[in-house]
Amino acid sequence: MAAAARSLAGGGLVAFPTETVYGLGADASNPQAIARLYRAKGRPAFNPLIATVGDLAAAQRIARFDATALALAEAFWPGPLTLVLPKTTDCAVADLATAGLDTVAIRLPSHPVARDILRAFGRPVVAPSANLSGHVSPTTAAHVEHDLSGRIDLIVDGGPVAVGVESTIVGCFEAPMLLRPGGLPRGEIERVLGRALAQPPDDADCESGQPLAPGMLASHYAPRTRVRLNAVRVEPGEALLAFGPVALPGVEAATAVMNLSARGDLQDAAANLFGYLRTLDTKGAHTIAVMPVPGDGLGEAINDRLRRAAMARE
């Protein structure tokens, strides 16, 4: 933790586990470090970063919380929820990290390693997922090493993560809006709000104009192999990403088979999703066929990531 904090203070790039996926950290107030971070990921600088903090007081120094934002923070922090809020006038997060927006995305992770690093460093850390831009997010230190070895300064290995999909992002606008489904199911948030989350307008989901969640580009989270959704049989030469106990016709001829959760558990499926996509991507299959996954609870985020993986090659 001390080495990680020293590296961050010196402008270094440090990968560390959060409960959702591994993040690539840089000092949120250091534009040089942030410029290096965008380069290391190959990420376009118009796509803003999440600022990670150690406690609510630190979050309130960089953003203004209304009653709704406070209620969500109190209910779900630390945990897999990111809030997009108006910046304070003396917000310490560099403009480069927020892509010039007057809002900032903030997260308070619950992973003990992330918390220890944030505590040791003592200031906000910007931390996008620690993968090459456009690739699936890393859920182990080995995934980080595969994507970013030689491009960053340190990887803190905390073992495989628990949640496996990125945080849920809620924009605290006039009506709280679900900008990205993620590790905290929509239903839990709506229960605290006492109302449904607003949906972003359709054109927020593309590269045109001023997207509300600029990172929600269609081609996010993509393996290199083509992905085919809602498979009801396996075609020759395909790898299969299965879900549940039922075997698909044609499965004997599959190049490789991995089951997200043989007992049909969505939490297990989320935790396995990105690692299995990475593994199936190396099997020489022409297509990864994916069985249907229910859309309730964590299934909303799982289906969102699968759709993006499929869209990228269409």
Please give the size of the binding site for ligand TXA, defined by CB under 6 A: 28
Residue 50 interface partner, choices Mg ion, ligand TXA, none, CB cut-off 5-8 Å depending on type? ligand TXA
Report, in Å, the least distance between residue 115 CB and ligand TXA. Answer: 13
Radius of gyration over alpha carbons of the chain, in Å? 19
Contact segment (CB under 5 A) with Mg ion among 23-31, 124-132, 147-155, 176-184 equals 124-132
Q: Is 105 in the site for ligand TXA (CB under 6 A)?
A: yes
> Is the backbone peptide bond immediately before 124 cis, with ω within 30 degrees of 0?
no
Enumerate the β-bridge partners of residue 155. 15
Please state, in angstroms and rounded to a whole number, the distance separating the CA atoms of residues 42 and 46: 12
Of 214, 190, 227, 197, nearest in space to 305 by CA: 227
Nearer to ligand TXA, 105 or 291 (CB): 105
Contact segment (CB under 5 A) with Mg ion among 80-88, 126-134, 246-254, 281-289 equals 126-134
Q: Residue 233 has which token pair?
A: 């049989």
HSE value, Cβ hemisphere, 13 Å, CA-based, for 164: 21
Residues 205-234 that bind ligand TXA (CB under 6 A): 212-216
3-class secondary-structure state, position 302: helix
Residue 69 interface partner, choices Mg ion, ligand TXA, none, CB cut-off 5-8 Å depending on type? none
Measured from the Cβ of residue 42, the count of other Cβ atoms closer than 10 Å reads 14
HSE value, Cβ hemisphere, 13 Å, CA-based, for 105: 27
Residue 103 interface partner, choices Mg ion, ligand TXA, none, CB cut-off 5-8 Å depending on type? ligand TXA
Nearer to ligand TXA, 129 or 303 (CB): 129
Q: Is 124 in the site for ligand TXA (CB under 6 A)?
A: no
Please state, in angstroms and rounded to a whole number, the distance separating the CA atoms of residues 256 and 210: 41
Q: Is 129 in the site for Mg ion (CB under 5 A)?
A: yes
Residues lying near ligand TXA in the complex (CB under 6 A) are found at: 18, 20-21, 23, 47-50, 82, 84, 98, 101, 103-105, 107, 127-129, 166-167, 169, 179, 212-216
